[in-house]
């Protein structure tokens, strides 16, 4: 499983494009070390001048239930390692990580003990119905943003840092089962 951590993680840092070779190499090594330090991560590769980190996970060790915790752990580790260079709002990140799949309550029905796509689910996937539910309850737009852009529908949009982290944590637990 390969996970891409987007350009915003390193490219948005002050001075990210103006550093010495030694500083550049150290930053890449630090990015790889941070990513490799999580349970279930097999190998890591910082690429594209550190704007992206490819993570190869051991899919038998990373479950769907782990994705929320993985989001929080990644954010905490990034805050420890990059201090104020990357701003992460933990409240929005945690709320978004917990609620990303709330729209599945509308997307699926249980029929004869089996989960099937509902009529609404054939028309709208869970990120859209999830935003509708979140908006109905007055959740902050930052949380709605994470819900909206955590899945493939968000691939063409600009995700904020919290949405990037939640998106990749979610797909670490999902993509290996598609392989």
Report the alpha-carbon distance of residue 108 to residue 28 in Å, rounded: 42
The pLDDT tens digits for 102-161 are: 999 999 999 999 999 999 999 999 999 999 999 999 999 999 999 999 998 888 889 998
The pLDDT tens digits for 24-72 are: 777 778 777 877 777 777 777 776 666 566 666 666 666 656 667 778 8
Look at residues 146, 162, 147, 167 and name the one whose alpha carbon lies nearest to residue 67. 167
141-156 burial, b at 16+ Cβ within 10 Å, e below that, comes to ebbbbbbbbbbeebee
**CA 129 to mean position of chain CA atoms:** 19
Looking at the DSSP bridge assignments, the partners of residue 165 are none
**CA 135 to mean position of chain CA atoms:** 21
In this prediction, what percent of the chain has a pLDDT beyond 90?
Answer: 35
Pairing mode of beta strands 52-57, 2-4? antiparallel
Report the alpha-carbon distance of residue 124 to residue 138 in Å, rounded: 21
Give domain limits for the chain: 2-177
The pLDDT tens digits for 129-145 are: 999 999 999 999 999 99
**pTM listed for this prediction:** 0.66
């Amino acid at each position: 499983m390969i996970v891409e951590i987007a350009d915003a993680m390193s490219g948005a840092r002050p001075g990210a494009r103006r550093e010495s070779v030694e500083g550049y190499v150290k930053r890449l090594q630090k990015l790889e070390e941070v990513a490799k330090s999580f349970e279930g991560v097999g190998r890591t590769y910082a690429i594209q001048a550190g704007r992206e980190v490819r993570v190869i996970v051991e899919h038998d060790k990373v479950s769907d239930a782990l994705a929320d915790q993985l989001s929080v752990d990644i954010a905490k580790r990034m805050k420890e390692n990059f201090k104020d260079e990357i701003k992460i709002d933990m409240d929005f990140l945690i709320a978004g990580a917990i609620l990303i799949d709330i729209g599945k309550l509308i997307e699926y029905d249980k029929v004869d003990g089996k989960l099937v796509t509902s009529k609404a689910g054939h028309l709208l996937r869970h990120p859209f119905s999830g935003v509708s539910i979140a908006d109905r309850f007055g959740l902050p737009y930052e949380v709605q943003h994470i819900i909206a852009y955590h899945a493939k529908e968000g691939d063409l949009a600009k995700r904020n840092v919290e949405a990037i982290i939640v998106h990749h944590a979610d797909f670490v637990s999902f993509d290996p089962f598609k392989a």
